[in-house]
Amino acid sequence: MGTESLGFIGLGVMGHSMCSHLLENGHKIHVFNRTMAKAQDLILHGAVAEECPAAIARNCSIVFTMLGYPQDVEEVYFGKEGLLSNPHEGQIFVDMTTTKPSLAIRIAEEAEKRDCFACDAPVSGGDSGAKNGTLSIMAGTDSKTFDTLLPYFRIMGKKITLEGKCGMGQHTKMANQIVIAGTMGGVCEALLYGKKAGLDMNKLLDTIKAGAAGCWTLDNLAPRIIKGDYSPGFFIDHFVKDMGIALEESRRMGLCLPTLALVQQLYIAMQGLDYGKLGTQALVLALDRMSNAGCFSK
């Protein structure tokens, strides 16, 4: 796997666990986060704190970023003290944030001008996938860069796929989020229906997830809903961002995706209720409130 120094920027719900796995596997890791308090346990276990993204670039051969929004990605890569402000030849930059395909392509183009390489590698699997190292990783890059990164991806994920050239990883993630949007709506409506009908919720869940309705959301998030756990494996605020990107790309391609648009509006309504920092499974609260059902509460 080599002895490269690795950089990791973005130590939130997902990034912290992903970085931790790399550190636990014996890699020298340089870290940066806007709130460096989130890096303290990693530093105690050997990670090196840096003062800005440019410092990460100076000291690392491969840099991973896991950020929140496209504007965060732009700042980290293109800001005054960003990763691309003064890179060295042959560096690889891997953005694992879910962001715009056009931004992934722009990063790749600018990296190429500097004799560097880029890969967009968004992930799916939520906080549990990040903690367990079982993420699905969707990579967009050239085959040589992918082969270089594959050993590191295997530390963080279970299903790793080269989707095509730069930008294709992000397009794949958009398709993933479109599926999740519809699935989350269906799961929450089913649980609300079952609760109102007086069903035993655990029996209901065990029954339907064993049949054609079985899915990741039923396995991982429905149990949290039943327990009243709305903590974020993935923030509503971030999901609204993702759905917005998917709708923007859909319009650009001349597509009409009404289910996605409806689910996004439901989640925007949740932001209006100040639920944006809850997990996506909290959609059941909005549906419950709309029905005045009194089945679920925060």
Q: What residues are labeled active site?
A: 173
Indicate the residue type of 277: K
Calpha distance 171→163 (Å, rounded): 9
Cβ atoms of residues 114 and 94 within 8 Å: no
Cβ atoms of residues 107 and 77 within 8 Å: yes
Sign of CA dihedral 205, 298, 132, 77: positive
Cα–Cα–Cα angle for 148, 151, 153, rounded to 5 degrees: 100
Backbone angles phi, psi at 152, to 5 degrees: -75, -40
Calpha distance 273→91 (Å, rounded): 44
Nearest one of 19, 26, 126, 103 to 63, comparing CA atoms: 19
2 by DSSP, 3-state: which?
Answer: coil
Sign of CA dihedral 28, 51, 98, 216: positive
